Amino acid sequence: MGAITAVDEKTGRKFYLDDPDDLKPGEKVTFLLNLHGGGSVGAWQRAYFPACDYRDKYRLVVATPSCATKEPMRMWVGAADDEHLRNIVDMVFQKYGRENIERFWLVGHSQGGMTSNRLLGQDFYKQNVDGWLSLSGGRIGPIELPAAFFVPVRGSAPPPAAGDGPRPGRAAMPEADLSFIFATGEHEMVALPETSPWAEKYGAGPRVRQPDVADTEPGQIHDTTREGRSNAAWGLSPRPGVAQVWTYPGARDGRVIADVVRLDKGHTEGLEPKVTEELIKLMVSAPGGKAQRA
């Protein structure tokens, strides 16, 4: 079928739905629910993390919606968005057959990543989600954003002071069993920790550096709202680059746990094609089947 604009019939809200052009009845697929960050929309997210470009090669179904809230900033908040996202998942399960969803991953950039983290606290997602890809959307375990990340724009608040609670960028430990990949720009964090609480939970070994991923092509999009007044931490124009890949081997049940750092990149440069594909390779190598068993 390829790419279509689908409709959540219960709410009337539209979203992007991509699947393999030559999908056969009963074929197994990996389902990605791809969530944009605060201030963004589904069309931007679809270009920021263009998993849809690999739908044929890796047999992907990718749903990319937009949140409902527009003012003061687009954010995934409230029951209306939760209902819409649940409707999308139910639609995908029905359309392709729950028994054919080989893996179900939540994918989220920035506030979309933190929304993924929140959803994993709900029984439905605990029971059905096999993995979470956080695209600068919070890391399980300690992580700290630099002060330069907080560029004043549209009344954005300063970073919280020490002692005000969890440091920016840190996600809650999900109660669900799942694989976890954290991808981030080098300039949007102080430093990447050498250990992972999620890897420790599954008894994985120390992290192992994998071959770097070198892209000669840039990503497809960036944050044009800060054109001419952004910085390296928030993100500049798309450009080629290199990504470092760290994996934690030997995790129980074959869970995939990885950190990916895009060198000389910030929060909003769209992902380059090869690092996008590398993240997809990691996702489809992970165990799945929770949706089939639920």
User: pLDDT tens for residues 183-210?
Assistant: 999 999 999 999 999 999 999 999 999 9
**What residue spans define the domains of the chain?**
3-153+165-293
164 class by beta-carbon count within 10 Å (0-12 exposed, 13-18 middle, 19+ buried): exposed
Are 102 and 78 within 8 A, CB to CB?
A: no
Residue 155 carries which DSSP code?
T
- The whole-angstrom separation of Cα 145 and Cα 167 is 8
Reported pTM: 0.93
Distance CA 239, CA 42 (A): 22
The bridge status of strand 257-262 relative to strand 241-247 is antiparallel
Task: Per-residue pLDDT tens, the chain, 294 aa: give them.
Answer: 667 899 999 999 999 999 999 999 999 999 999 999 999 999 999 999 999 999 999 999 999 999 998 777 889 998 999 999 999 999 999 999 999 999 999 999 999 999 999 999 999 999 999 999 999 999 998 888 887 776 554 434 343 333 333 344 788 899 999 999 999 999 999 999 999 999 999 999 999 999 999 999 999 999 998 888 899 999 999 999 999 999 999 999 999 999 999 999 999 999 999 999 999 999 999 999 999 998
Average pLDDT, the chain: 91
Give the position of tokens 């004043």: 152
Cβ proximity of 134 and 171 under 8 Å: yes
CATH number of 3-153+165-293: 3.40.50
